[in-house]
Amino acid sequence: MKVVIVDYGSQYTQLIARVIRELGYYSQVVQYDEPLDTDEVGAVIFSGGPESVYEENSPGLPEWFERYNGKVLGICYGMQLVVHALGGAVEQGKTAEYGRTELEIIKDDDIFSGIEKHLTVWMSHGDHVKKLPKTFKTIAKSKDGIIAAATDEKKFWLLQFHPEVRHTSYGREIIENFLSRVCKLVPNWSLEDFIKQKINELREHLSGKKVVAALSGGVDSSVACVLVHRAIGENLLNVFVDHGLLRKNEEEEVPRIFRQVLGLNLLKIDARKVFLEKLRGIVDPEKKRKIIGEQFIRVFEKEAKRYGATHLIQGTIYSDVIESAKSGKKTAAIKSHHNVGGLPQRMDLEIVEPLKNLFKDEVRIVGEMLGIPRSIIHRQPFPGPGLGVRIVGEITEEKLEILKEADDVFIQVLKETGWYEKTWQAFSVLLPVRSVGVRGDKRAYDYVLALRSVDSVEGMTADWSRLPHEILDLASRRILNRVKGIGRVVYDISSKPPATIEWE
């Protein structure tokens, strides 16, 4: 029996799938208007979504729903949809709930089995349930008094919060309770199955062909390359692009680490000039991302032609896909990740993305299973567009120099104090804002630098790291004393949602 997740366009649909994978159940994501054979379905989950149920033409119940006799977990939009369809009322709230919210369980239920009465959950909604359908009871409320969970104790279990995100405490337990206690399913799936299946698929698809791989030295592309290497052996050329938007010294370190640690060869292409030329004068973040995406492909096409390759391996993972709105029909575009939403229309290469449906931490586990050393697997993520999306607004060579230096100081401070390993991702952002200062009795007028450090598991939700004041103080003083061009340092204390990790 499988678990079916009906996608209403949530940013977190695949996170639901992944929690279910982790719990050892097989799951399938379907669009809300896709047909489905309901025979093998043991549980159904309705995802959240960006629309409002009371609006005309908002997505409704699936056509097959009448034929399905099992139980349903409705999350956020999924909850609101069920309430609306069964005669309850949903309205826009005066205030929204985004990020951390306190919850109180007010009635015992199987889905809350083994869970404390007061817990922290993550919300991401502006609408809420005003009135439940007749046969439903409220089983949990948020601190603001909003109905946070309800059930009819027969078919529907509804949650206004997101149990699938890591920042919700007991989220996994809630989903597990739903699958095992409410739906009575038994687990039988693993990531080892995934590796075996992928290597076979890659072999079938690529054997006898020449292939280039886009290798950044980051976690995802390293794992993707090793996986493909396992599948097809020698006919693989790894290409690393220096686009001029890399961190300080990275253009030397990546090839060195890769050859030394993995023993894999890698071709470094110096494309600094074209990237920076194409980006000159561009301010809009989406335009920047698309230019970067296109230039990457042009470099790979050129190298593929030289090598005689027809396919390009990318280390795309699910968060890249979802934020670029390339997954479900109703998914909103948040930002075009260079390797997905930023790809050009016309391309000579067929793209192969073996990790496309996995999340960062699953990719790390696959990497460990493949025997890749920790020093690569546990590197912090670094976005393909690099410092290009960390200089807010126009990119200039002067700003690149300033940001490289400042970021290097911040990262060194974290490393020296043991905080680098404790944070999921830490970096600096150069703002297009200048501010007045006084240095040695002289007036100064320099840029503002934002430090960002977040705690996360897979980058889909994140909270700002509670760095001790002394660490922030040390970083700020060192940057202000050492980096010319920075006149003020601030710390970003926004969670995702409603912010994102990168600023652009």
Ligand X SMILES: O=c1[nH]c(=O)c2[nH+]cn([C@@H]3O[C@H](COP(=O)(O)O)[C@@H](O)[C@H]3O)c2[nH]1
Ligand Y SMILES: Nc1ncnc2c1ncn2[C@@H]1O[C@H](COP(=O)(O)OP(=O)(O)OP(=O)(O)O)[C@@H](O)[C@H]1O
Ligand Z SMILES: NC(=O)CC[C@H](N)C(=O)O
Tell me the catalytic residues: 76, 162, 164
Q: Distance between CA 358 and CA 376 in Å, rounded? A: 18
- Residue 41: what are its φ and ψ, rounded to 5°? -85, 120
Residue number with CB closer to ligand X (235 or 423): 423
Q: Which residues bind ligand X (CB under 6 A)?
A: 289, 319-320, 323, 335, 337-339, 381, 383-385, 425, 459, 496, 500-502
Least distance (Å) from ligand X to the CB of residue 384?
A: 3
Least distance (Å) from Mg ion to the CB of residue 34?
A: 33
What H or E segment, with its residue span, contains residue 473? Answer: helix 469-482
Of the residues 157, 382, 419, 427, which one makes contact with Mg ion according to CB under 5 A = 382
Q: Which residues bind ligand Y (CB under 6 A)?
A: 214-216, 218-221, 239-241, 314-316, 320, 339, 379, 381-384
Least distance (Å) from ligand Z to the CB of residue 59?
A: 11
Residue number with CB closer to ligand Y (76 or 227): 227
Kindly state whether residue 51 participates in binding ligand Z, applying the rule CB under 6 A.
yes
Contact 65, 26 (CB under 8 A): no
Residue number with CB closer to ligand Z (126 or 373): 126
Least distance (Å) from ligand Y to the CB of residue 139?
A: 39
If contact means CB under 5 to 8 A according to the sort of partner, which of Mg ion, ligand Y, ligand X, none does residue 241 touch?
Answer: ligand Y
Of the residues 23, 48, 109, 213, which one makes contact with ligand Z according to CB under 6 A = 48
Contact 187, 212 (CB under 8 A): no
- For residue 470, the SS3 value is helix
State both tokens at 32.
Answer: 């809300």
Q: By beta-carbon distance, which residue lies closest to Mg ion?
A: 218
Provide the CB-side half-sphere exposure for 367 (13 A, CA). Answer: 26
Bond from prior residue into 133 cis (ω within 30 degrees of 0) = no
Residue number with CB closer to ligand X (399 or 496): 496
Give the x/- contact pattern for ligand Z in 117-156, rule: CB under 6 A: -------xxxx-----------------------------
Binding residues: 216-222
Q: Distance between CA 338 and CA 285 in Å, rounded? A: 11
Binding residues for ATP: 216-222
Least distance (Å) from ligand X to the CB of residue 101?
A: 20
H helices then E strands: how many in the chain? 13, 18
Least distance (Å) from ligand X to the CB of residue 273?
A: 21
Burial of 210: CB neighbours in 10 Å, binned 0-12, 13-18, 19+: middle
If contact means CB under 5 to 8 A according to the sort of partner, which of ligand X, ligand Z, ligand Y, none does residue 50 touch?
Answer: ligand Z
User: Which one of the spans 127-135, 363-371, 374-382, 385-393 is the region binding Mg ion (CB under 5 A)?
Assistant: 374-382
Cβ partners under 8 Å of residue 267, min gap 6: 237, 238, 239, 240, 303
Burial of 347: CB neighbours in 10 Å, binned 0-12, 13-18, 19+: middle
Treating both helix axes as pointing N-terminal to C-terminal, what angle do 285-307 and 272-279 enclose, rounded to 10 degrees? 150
State both tokens at 471.
Answer: 């660490």
- Residues within window 287-326 making contact with ligand Z, judged by CB under 6 A: none
Q: Distance between CA 272 and CA 276 in Å, rounded? A: 6
Q: Let me know how long the chain is.
A: 504
If contact means CB under 5 to 8 A according to the sort of partner, which of Mg ion, ligand Z, ligand Y, none does residue 359 touch?
Answer: none
Least distance (Å) from ligand Z to the CB of residue 79?
A: 8
Kindly state whether residue 50 participates in binding ligand Z, applying the rule CB under 6 A.
yes
User: Which one of the spans 120-128, 213-221, 279-287, 429-437 is the region binding Mg ion (CB under 5 A)?
Assistant: 213-221
Q: Strand pairing partners for 149?
A: 140, 159
If contact means CB under 5 to 8 A according to the sort of partner, which of ligand Z, ligand Y, ligand X, none does residue 496 touch?
Answer: ligand X
State both tokens at 472.
Answer: 């922030």
If contact means CB under 5 to 8 A according to the sort of partner, which of ligand X, ligand Z, ligand Y, none does residue 289 touch?
Answer: ligand X
- Residues within window 8-27 making contact with ligand Z, judged by CB under 6 A: 10
Residue number with CB closer to Mg ion (374 or 477): 374
Residue number with CB closer to ligand Y (171 or 315): 315
Q: Strand pairing partners for 449?
A: 430, 489
Contact 383, 38 (CB under 8 A): no
- For residue 30, the SS3 value is strand
Q: Distance between CA 389 and CA 393 in Å, rounded? A: 8
Interface ranges with ligand Z (CB under 6 A): 10, 48-52, 76-77, 124-127
